[in-house]
Amino acid sequence: MRSSDLIKELKEHGCYLKRQGKGDHQIWFSPKTGKTFPVPHPKGNLPIGTIKIGRAFISSAEL
């Protein structure tokens, strides 16, 4: 999955960009969990497990 595809999915699940992190990471917020999590962007294909998707409260099956 590309980072741009992941970001599209995060937005569809109600997550939003909170701020730009260090380097190539963005800090996203999930209103479902009330937690923030980093997303590397821009990046081509993201390896499985790179993203702390549990903090977004989205199952990998939904992606």
Q: Which domains does the chain have, with CATH numbers?
A: 3-62 (3.30.920.30)
* Helix residue ranges per DSSP H, 1-63: 3-12
**Token pair for 10:** 């995060």
- Given this model, what pLDDT does residue 53 score? 61
Mean pLDDT value of segment 38-54: 75
What the block records as the tokens of 5 is: 């595809």
Q: Give the span between the Cα atoms of 35 and 54, in whole angstroms.
A: 10
Residue 63 pLDDT more than 60? no
User: In whole angstroms, what is the distance from residue 40 CA to residue 61 CA?
Assistant: 20
Please tell me the predicted confidence (pLDDT) of residue 51. Answer: 64
Instruction: Give the pTM.
Output: 0.74
